[in-house]
Homo-oligomer: A and B are copies of this chain.
Amino acid sequence: MPTTTRVPQEERTRVMRARLLEATIECLVERGFAGTSTTLVSERAGVSRGAQLHHFPTKNDLVVAAVEHLTEKRGVELVAAADALPDGPRHTRAVLDMLADHFTGAVFAAALELWVAARTDASLLAAVEPLEQRIGRETHRLTVELLGLDESMPGNRELAQATLDLVRGLGLADTITDDSRRRAAILDRWADVLDKELG
Find chain B residues with CB under 8 A from A129 CB: 176-177
In this complex, what residue of B is CB-closest to A164?
A: B169
Number of copies: 2
Cβ of A165 under 8 Å from chain B: yes
Cβ of A188 under 8 Å from chain B: yes
A162 to B185, CA, bound (A): 10
Cross-chain contact A115 with B176 (CB below 8 angstroms) = yes
Distance (Å) between the CB of A82 and the closest chain B CB?
22
Find chain B residues with CB under 8 A from A32 CB: 116-117, 119-121
Within 8 A of B (CB), among A122-180: 125, 128-129, 132-133, 136, 155, 158-159, 161-162, 164-173, 175-177
Distance (Å) between the CB of A170 and the closest chain B CB?
5
Find chain B residues with CB under 8 A from A173 CB: 136, 165, 168
Find chain B residues with CB under 8 A from A33 CB: 34
Cross-chain contact B155 with A192 (CB below 8 angstroms) = yes
Cross-chain contact A185 with B170 (CB below 8 angstroms) = no
- Would A115 and B172 be within 8 Å (CB), given that A120-B35, A190-B162 are in contact? yes
Known: A31-B120, A158-B189, A161-B186. 11 other contacts (CB 8 A): A32-B121, A109-B119, A118-B176, A119-B176, A132-B177, A155-B192, A164-B169, A165-B173, A165-B186, A166-B166, A168-B168
